Amino acid sequence: MRSLTKLFIAHFFLLGFSALLLSQDCETCFKKGDCRMDLQKGYKINSQSRGVPITIQDTVELNVVFYGQKDYIFSFCTDKELYPIHFRIIDPESESLIYDNSEDRYIESLGVGFDVTKNLKFKINILGKTN
């Protein structure tokens, strides 16, 4: 009976460890992939780059603080089979829509600058239609 318990514990740990080996790290997936910005040789990822796991038709909401006197480029990308990406920028205080990329044929990148520090909410979803 005692050896059966040891065998069960060893089996449990081996299964758990092998699941970790087969898992995928999504936190750094923005560093590689099918993004158009990856094809540009001079593109550098900055300190605020983030990857978020999302599935088709799900919506992710991100609250982000942008500091004044700085320029930002918002770039959204996914696997080439899952485009387009729909994102909206919302003022969290008034809940008013600031920008919706569906009005610009689902562009992937947007450059903005802020005079003062600003808190914004992003709503992002993958539509899953191929281009």
Residues 71-127: tens digit of each pLDDT: 888 888 777 778 888 999 999 999 999 999 999 999 888 888 889 999 999 999 988
Ranges 48-52, 54-58, 73-77, 84-88: which has the least confidence: 48-52
Distance between CA atoms of residues 2 and 105, nearest Å: 65
Residue 69 lies in a domain: yes
Number of C-beta neighbours around residue 7 at 10 A: 10
Residue 106 lies in a domain: yes
Higher pLDDT, 13 or 115: 115
Residue 18 lies in a domain: no
Residue 7 lies in a domain: no
pLDDT at 4: 67
Number of domains into which the chain is organized: 1
Residue 6 lies in a domain: no
pLDDT at 115: 92
pLDDT, the chain, mean: 76
Number of C-beta neighbours around residue 125 at 10 A: 18
Residue 74 lies in a domain: yes
Residue 67 lies in a domain: yes
Distance between CA atoms of residues 15 and 65, nearest Å: 41
Supply the pTM of this predicted model.
Answer: 0.66
Distance between CA atoms of residues 74 and 45, nearest Å: 11
Alpha-helix residue ranges (DSSP H) falling in 2-66: 2-22
130: pLDDT confidence band, cut at 50, 70 and 90?
very low
For the ranges 12-26, 28-42, 56-70, the maximum mean pLDDT occurs at 56-70
Host domain of residue 33: 25-126
Residue 11 lies in a domain: no
Share of the chain above pLDDT 70, in %: 60
